[in-house]
Structures are given as structure tokens and as C-alpha cells.
Amino acid sequence: MTALPTEETAHLPRVTPIELIRAIPIFSALTKDEQEALAATASERTYRKGEIIARQGEMLPSLMIVRTGVIVRQREDDARLEEIGRLAPGDFFGESGLLAGIGEMSTLRAMSHVVVYEIDQKSFAPLLLDRPEMAEDLAIILAGGMPASGENGKAGQQHASSSFALLKAIQTVFRSVPFKRVRAGGRYDAQEDRVP
């Protein structure tokens, strides 16, 4: 079992936006030029130890990639915050707000001095227009990941339904990006639609 990141383990050498973008699987299908263009739009933001980055339910309009530091994810439960996870360098957040207009599922707080690279919706939109399959991949990530291979029944149908609903939300946010319908089991059919 991998240990949770701590303030002591989260200080890495300076990492550039392009290095982080190349390390994130959803960006691996992009060409080198596309990755560099996206990296060029990134701006740097810093947060002090203990600072709230986003509260549960708040919508972040940007994709944030952690460069240094540790961010704790906390969920409000009966008026107290419970830790549900941590983000470390190379992790990203804000995709639900950026892509689907959905608020954060947890409060995000800096456990240490944190530096993130921020990519806003205006910078991200051209990628989704040029690469609609990226919207499909992001919808699957937002829906909770791909179902296990060969999965059948209600779980697969619910996942496909969630993925499709999120894909439609992404399309609504970014307007007029083509998308494909999702079938049970996470597979796509060839029919293409456009959001009005």
C-alpha cells in the first residue's frame, strides 16, 4: 500500500507545465504541439498551508494540476470535515467544474505550501473541439472510471448512463462539440450527435 503524500514528501524539483501535462494519461493522445500549446496557456497559482482552495459544492472553472505540495480532500459530514483523500504533484482537480459545470465533491485544503498550474475553460475548449474523444474519456473519468472488462447488468448500464449524462453536460458547457452515445459496458456506438 502506498503511503499518503505528506508535506515532507511533496517537495519535488521544479516541474514545468509541459512535463505535468505529458505525465497525465488523458493528455497522452495529444500531439507534442497540442501539449505545448496547452502548457503555454497554464498560469501558476499558489496557496498557503491551511488555505481553502475550494469548498465542497463550489464550482472551479479551471483544471488545476498540482506542481508542488499536498492538498487534502475533505467531505463535510454532520458539520465536521472528514479526510477522504490527498492530491500530490501530478494530480489534477477542477475537471468537474471546468467540463460539466458541477461543483467539487469535497473541500480542498492546502496541507502545505501548494503551487498549481491552472488551465481555464477558454484555453481548454479548442482541444475538445479538435479532439471530441477527449470529452468521452473525461466523461468516463468523471463518472468514476471504466467498468471492469466484461461487466454486464445494472452496474454497466448505470455507468454508461452516468458517462453519457456527463458527456452531455460537457458538451453543453463547451457547445457544439460532436459526441458519441455510450452503451452499457462503456462502449461507444458510431452514431454522432450535436448538442443544440
Q: For the segment 88-147, what is each residue's pLDDT rounded down to a tens digit?
A: 998 889 888 877 788 888 999 999 999 999 998 888 888 877 777 777 777 676 666 433
Q: Euclidean distance between the first and final Cα of the chain, in Å?
A: 47
CATH of domain 17-121: 2.60.120.10
According to the model, what pLDDT value does residue 179 have?
39
Instruction: Give the pLDDT confidence of 62-85 residue by residue, as tens digits.
Output: 989 999 999 999 998 888 889 999
Name which of 104, 91, 178 is nearest 136 in CA terms.
178
**Comparison of pLDDT for 93 and 30, the residue scoring more:** 93
**Comparison of pLDDT for 190 and 46, the residue scoring more:** 46
Q: Take residue 47 and report the three cell numbers written for it.
A: 496557496
3-state DSSP call for residue 24?
A: coil
Rounded to 10°, the helix 153-174/132-142 angle is 130
Q: pTM value?
A: 0.67
According to the model, what pLDDT value does residue 6 have?
60
- Poorest-pLDDT segment among 2-6, 104-108, 117-121, 164-168: 164-168
Where are the domains positioned within the chain? 17-121, 131-193
Mean pLDDT of the chain: 73
Q: How many CB atoms lie under 10 A from the CB of residue 29?
A: 12
Contact 116, 64 (CB under 8 A): yes
With cell 497522452, the residue in question is 28
According to the model, what pLDDT value does residue 172 have?
56
Taking CB atoms within 8 Å and a gap of at least 24, the contacts of 188-195 are: 188/136, 195/168, 195/171
According to the model, what pLDDT value does residue 54 have?
95
